[in-house]
Chains A and B, each alone.
Chain A
Amino acid sequence: MSHFGLMVLYALAVSLFFALLWRDEARERLRLFLQLFLGLVLGAVLVAYLMYSVPSGPPAPIP
Protein backbone atom coordinates (compact mmCIF):
# COMPACT_ATOMS: atom_id res chain seq x y z
CA MET A 1 0.00 0.00 0.00
CA SER A 2 1.22 3.51 -0.78
CA HIS A 3 2.12 6.09 1.85
CA PHE A 4 -1.00 8.06 1.01
CA GLY A 5 -3.16 4.96 1.38
CA LEU A 6 -1.62 4.18 4.76
CA MET A 7 -2.18 7.74 5.89
CA VAL A 8 -5.84 7.62 4.85
CA LEU A 9 -6.23 4.30 6.67
CA TYR A 10 -4.65 5.76 9.79
CA ALA A 11 -6.86 8.85 9.62
CA LEU A 12 -9.91 6.62 9.20
CA ALA A 13 -9.09 4.55 12.29
CA VAL A 14 -8.26 7.55 14.48
CA SER A 15 -11.33 9.52 13.39
CA LEU A 16 -13.67 6.60 13.96
CA PHE A 17 -12.16 5.85 17.35
CA PHE A 18 -12.42 9.37 18.73
CA ALA A 19 -15.85 9.99 17.22
CA LEU A 20 -17.13 6.95 19.09
CA LEU A 21 -15.24 7.81 22.26
CA TRP A 22 -16.04 11.50 22.59
CA ARG A 23 -19.61 11.76 21.25
CA ASP A 24 -22.77 9.93 22.27
CA GLU A 25 -25.29 10.85 19.59
CA ALA A 26 -25.14 9.50 16.04
CA ARG A 27 -25.36 12.90 14.37
CA GLU A 28 -22.61 14.40 16.53
CA ARG A 29 -20.46 11.33 15.96
CA LEU A 30 -20.76 11.68 12.21
CA ARG A 31 -19.94 15.37 12.39
CA LEU A 32 -16.83 14.83 14.54
CA PHE A 33 -15.75 11.91 12.36
CA LEU A 34 -15.89 14.06 9.23
CA GLN A 35 -14.11 16.94 10.95
CA LEU A 36 -11.28 14.74 12.18
CA PHE A 37 -10.94 12.71 9.00
CA LEU A 38 -10.95 15.66 6.63
CA GLY A 39 -8.73 17.65 8.98
CA LEU A 40 -6.12 14.90 9.11
CA VAL A 41 -6.11 14.09 5.39
CA LEU A 42 -6.36 17.64 4.07
CA GLY A 43 -3.91 18.87 6.71
CA ALA A 44 -1.38 16.23 5.66
CA VAL A 45 -1.82 17.16 1.99
CA LEU A 46 -1.32 20.83 2.86
CA VAL A 47 1.84 20.11 4.89
CA ALA A 48 3.15 17.89 2.09
CA TYR A 49 2.52 20.67 -0.43
CA LEU A 50 4.40 23.18 1.75
CA MET A 51 7.27 20.73 2.25
CA TYR A 52 7.60 20.26 -1.49
CA SER A 53 9.47 23.56 -1.64
CA VAL A 54 12.04 22.31 0.90
CA PRO A 55 14.79 20.36 -0.88
CA SER A 56 15.39 16.89 0.51
CA GLY A 57 18.87 15.90 1.57
CA PRO A 58 20.71 12.66 0.95
CA PRO A 59 19.02 9.48 2.20
CA ALA A 60 19.66 8.58 5.81
CA PRO A 61 22.09 5.73 6.39
CA ILE A 62 20.60 2.41 7.43
CA PRO A 63 21.75 1.59 10.97
Chain B
Amino acid sequence: MATDDPVRDEPEADEPEIEEPEAEAAEIEVPEDSAALAETTTEDSAPPYPPRGTPWKAALLAWLMPGLGHLYTGRWLRGLVFAAIVLALIFGGCSLDGKLWRPAGNPLDVGPGTVSAFLTALSVGMGLPYAALLVAGYRGLVISQGYEYGTTFLLTAALMNLLLVFDARDLSLGRKP
Protein backbone atom coordinates (compact mmCIF):
# COMPACT_ATOMS: atom_id res chain seq x y z
CA MET B 1 0.00 0.00 0.00
CA ALA B 2 2.83 2.33 0.82
CA THR B 3 4.44 1.82 -2.61
CA ASP B 4 1.19 2.54 -4.48
CA ASP B 5 0.68 5.96 -2.99
CA PRO B 6 3.68 7.68 -4.63
CA VAL B 7 2.83 6.10 -7.98
CA ARG B 8 -0.71 7.38 -7.78
CA ASP B 9 0.44 10.80 -6.59
CA GLU B 10 2.88 11.44 -9.46
CA PRO B 11 0.31 11.70 -12.27
CA GLU B 12 -1.86 13.87 -10.10
CA ALA B 13 1.13 16.15 -9.51
CA ASP B 14 1.91 16.29 -13.23
CA GLU B 15 -1.60 17.08 -14.37
CA PRO B 16 -1.55 20.78 -13.49
CA GLU B 17 1.82 21.19 -15.24
CA ILE B 18 0.38 19.77 -18.46
CA GLU B 19 -2.69 21.94 -18.25
CA GLU B 20 -0.74 25.18 -17.86
CA PRO B 21 0.47 25.43 -21.48
CA GLU B 22 -3.05 24.71 -22.69
CA ALA B 23 -4.31 27.54 -20.55
CA GLU B 24 -1.64 29.85 -21.96
CA ALA B 25 -2.54 28.79 -25.49
CA ALA B 26 -6.18 29.49 -24.75
CA GLU B 27 -5.23 32.94 -23.51
CA ILE B 28 -3.31 33.63 -26.71
CA GLU B 29 -6.16 32.44 -28.89
CA VAL B 30 -8.61 34.82 -27.28
CA PRO B 31 -9.47 37.24 -30.09
CA GLU B 32 -8.86 40.89 -29.35
CA ASP B 33 -10.49 43.84 -31.00
CA SER B 34 -9.62 43.09 -34.61
CA ALA B 35 -10.52 46.57 -35.85
CA ALA B 36 -8.14 48.25 -33.40
CA LEU B 37 -5.43 45.76 -34.27
CA ALA B 38 -5.85 46.47 -37.98
CA GLU B 39 -5.61 50.19 -37.34
CA THR B 40 -2.35 49.85 -35.43
CA THR B 41 -0.79 47.64 -38.12
CA THR B 42 -1.70 50.05 -40.90
CA GLU B 43 -0.30 52.94 -38.87
CA ASP B 44 2.95 51.04 -38.32
CA SER B 45 3.36 50.18 -42.00
CA ALA B 46 2.67 53.72 -43.20
CA PRO B 47 5.90 55.61 -44.03
CA PRO B 48 6.71 58.39 -41.53
CA TYR B 49 7.89 60.69 -44.35
CA PRO B 50 6.46 61.32 -47.80
CA PRO B 51 7.76 58.74 -50.28
CA ARG B 52 9.45 60.05 -53.36
CA GLY B 53 10.30 58.32 -56.62
CA THR B 54 10.50 54.61 -57.29
CA PRO B 55 12.53 52.59 -54.78
CA TRP B 56 14.24 50.33 -57.31
CA LYS B 57 15.15 53.30 -59.48
CA ALA B 58 16.65 55.09 -56.49
CA ALA B 59 18.65 51.99 -55.58
CA LEU B 60 19.84 51.45 -59.14
CA LEU B 61 20.92 55.07 -59.59
CA ALA B 62 22.65 55.03 -56.21
CA TRP B 63 24.60 51.95 -57.25
CA LEU B 64 25.53 53.30 -60.67
CA MET B 65 26.95 56.59 -59.41
CA PRO B 66 27.67 57.55 -55.78
CA GLY B 67 25.14 60.11 -54.55
CA LEU B 68 22.89 59.86 -57.61
CA GLY B 69 20.17 58.03 -55.68
CA HIS B 70 20.02 60.85 -53.16
CA LEU B 71 19.81 63.41 -55.96
CA TYR B 72 16.94 61.39 -57.44
CA THR B 73 15.05 61.49 -54.15
CA GLY B 74 15.57 65.24 -53.83
CA ARG B 75 18.36 65.25 -51.21
CA TRP B 76 20.73 67.41 -53.22
CA LEU B 77 23.16 68.55 -50.56
CA ARG B 78 23.46 65.12 -48.97
CA GLY B 79 23.89 63.50 -52.37
CA LEU B 80 26.65 65.89 -53.37
CA VAL B 81 28.51 65.40 -50.09
CA PHE B 82 28.22 61.60 -50.34
CA ALA B 83 29.39 61.72 -53.94
CA ALA B 84 32.36 63.89 -52.97
CA ILE B 85 33.37 61.52 -50.14
CA VAL B 86 33.09 58.30 -52.15
CA LEU B 87 34.69 59.70 -55.30
CA ALA B 88 37.50 61.25 -53.25
CA LEU B 89 38.20 57.86 -51.69
CA ILE B 90 38.23 56.21 -55.13
CA PHE B 91 40.52 58.90 -56.52
CA GLY B 92 42.77 58.70 -53.48
CA GLY B 93 42.87 54.91 -53.68
CA CYS B 94 43.95 55.03 -57.31
CA SER B 95 46.51 57.75 -56.58
CA LEU B 96 48.02 55.49 -53.93
CA ASP B 97 48.14 52.57 -56.41
CA GLY B 98 45.69 50.49 -54.40
CA LYS B 99 44.54 47.14 -55.73
CA LEU B 100 41.36 46.95 -57.77
CA TRP B 101 39.98 43.50 -57.05
CA ARG B 102 38.90 41.48 -60.05
CA PRO B 103 38.01 37.80 -60.51
CA ALA B 104 41.02 35.51 -60.25
CA GLY B 105 41.01 31.76 -59.89
CA ASN B 106 38.09 29.47 -59.20
CA PRO B 107 35.74 31.09 -56.64
CA LEU B 108 34.59 27.62 -55.50
CA ASP B 109 38.09 26.75 -54.31
CA VAL B 110 38.35 27.64 -50.66
CA GLY B 111 41.27 30.01 -50.27
CA PRO B 112 42.53 32.85 -52.44
CA GLY B 113 39.85 32.26 -55.07
CA THR B 114 37.06 32.70 -52.54
CA VAL B 115 38.64 35.81 -51.04
CA SER B 116 39.13 37.26 -54.50
CA ALA B 117 35.52 36.53 -55.47
CA PHE B 118 34.18 38.12 -52.28
CA LEU B 119 36.31 41.26 -52.55
CA THR B 120 35.57 41.54 -56.27
CA ALA B 121 31.84 41.37 -55.55
CA LEU B 122 32.32 44.05 -52.92
CA SER B 123 34.31 46.23 -55.33
CA VAL B 124 31.56 45.99 -57.94
CA GLY B 125 29.51 47.96 -55.40
CA MET B 126 31.35 51.05 -56.67
CA GLY B 127 29.16 50.97 -59.76
CA LEU B 128 30.25 52.84 -62.86
CA PRO B 129 33.59 53.99 -61.40
CA TYR B 130 34.56 50.32 -61.07
CA ALA B 131 33.67 49.70 -64.71
CA ALA B 132 35.59 52.82 -65.74
CA LEU B 133 38.69 51.64 -63.88
CA LEU B 134 38.41 48.21 -65.47
CA VAL B 135 38.11 49.70 -68.94
CA ALA B 136 41.06 51.99 -68.27
CA GLY B 137 43.13 48.93 -67.38
CA TYR B 138 43.84 50.04 -63.82
CA ARG B 139 45.17 47.25 -61.60
CA GLY B 140 47.18 48.82 -58.80
CA LEU B 141 50.86 48.47 -57.99
CA VAL B 142 51.83 46.12 -55.21
CA ILE B 143 55.33 47.57 -54.75
CA SER B 144 53.96 51.07 -54.23
CA GLN B 145 54.34 52.57 -50.77
CA GLY B 146 50.64 53.41 -50.55
CA TYR B 147 49.38 50.05 -51.84
CA GLU B 148 47.70 48.94 -48.61
CA TYR B 149 46.17 52.32 -47.91
CA GLY B 150 44.99 52.60 -51.51
CA THR B 151 43.36 49.18 -51.40
CA THR B 152 41.65 50.12 -48.14
CA PHE B 153 40.40 53.36 -49.68
CA LEU B 154 38.97 51.55 -52.71
CA LEU B 155 37.22 48.83 -50.70
CA THR B 156 35.83 51.39 -48.24
CA ALA B 157 34.47 53.46 -51.13
CA ALA B 158 32.72 50.38 -52.52
CA LEU B 159 31.23 49.52 -49.13
CA MET B 160 30.04 53.10 -48.67
CA ASN B 161 28.34 53.07 -52.05
CA LEU B 162 26.53 49.85 -51.16
CA LEU B 163 25.28 51.48 -47.97
CA LEU B 164 24.12 54.45 -50.04
CA VAL B 165 22.05 52.07 -52.18
CA PHE B 166 20.05 50.98 -49.12
CA ASP B 167 19.83 54.56 -47.86
CA ALA B 168 18.48 55.82 -51.18
CA ARG B 169 15.89 53.05 -51.19
CA ASP B 170 14.80 53.98 -47.65
CA LEU B 171 14.55 57.63 -48.68
CA SER B 172 12.41 56.71 -51.64
CA LEU B 173 10.12 54.61 -49.44
CA GLY B 174 9.74 57.50 -46.98
CA ARG B 175 11.48 55.77 -44.09
CA LYS B 176 13.99 58.59 -43.57
CA PRO B 177 13.71 62.39 -43.62
Among the stretches A14-22, A31-39, A41-49, A50-58, the one at the interface with B is A14-22
Which residues in A have their C-beta under 8 angstroms from that of B176?
A: 24
Minimum distance in angstroms from B2 CB to a CB of chain A: 71
Please tell me which one of the listed residues B82, B143, B146, B149 contacts residue A17 in the complex, with CB atoms under 8 A apart: B82
Contact A13 B85 (CB under 8 A): yes
Question: If A17-B82, A17-B85, A24-B177 touch, does A10 touch B142 (CB 8 Å cutoff)?
Answer: no
B101 within 8 A of A: no
How far is B156's CA from A14's CA once the two chains are assembled, in angstroms?
Answer: 8
Which residues in A have their C-beta under 8 angstroms from that of B160?
A: 17
Minimum distance in angstroms from A19 CB to a CB of chain B: 10
Which residues in B have their C-beta under 8 angstroms from that of A14?
A: 156
Residue of A nearest to B78 (CB): A20
Question: If A13-B88, A14-B156, A17-B82 touch, does A6 touch B177 (CB 8 Å cutoff)?
Answer: no
Contact B163 A10 (CB under 8 A): no
Please tell me which one of the listed residues A10, A13, A63 contacts residue B149 in the complex, with CB atoms under 8 A apart: A10
How far is B85's CA from A61's CA once the two chains are assembled, in angstroms?
Answer: 34
Contact A62 B149 (CB under 8 A): no
How far is B171's CA from A20's CA once the two chains are assembled, in angstroms?
Answer: 13
Which residues in B have their C-beta under 8 angstroms from that of A20?
A: 78, 81-82
Residue of A nearest to B86 (CB): A17
How far is B120's CA from A14's CA once the two chains are assembled, in angstroms?
Answer: 21
Minimum distance in angstroms from A48 CB to a CB of chain B: 15
How far is B149's CA from A3's CA once the two chains are assembled, in angstroms?
Answer: 8
Which residues in B have their C-beta under 8 angstroms from that of A63?
A: 142
Contact B142 A9 (CB under 8 A): no
Which residues in B have their C-beta under 8 angstroms from that of A17?
A: 82, 85-86, 160
Question: If A21-B163, A21-B167, A63-B142 touch, does A6 touch B85 (CB 8 Å cutoff)?
Answer: no
Give A contacts to B, CB under 8 Å: 3, 6, 9-10, 13-14, 16-17, 20-21, 24, 62-63
11 sampled A-B residue pairs with Cβ under 8 A = A9-B92, A10-B149, A10-B152, A10-B156, A13-B88, A13-B156, A16-B85, A17-B82, A17-B85, A20-B78, A24-B177
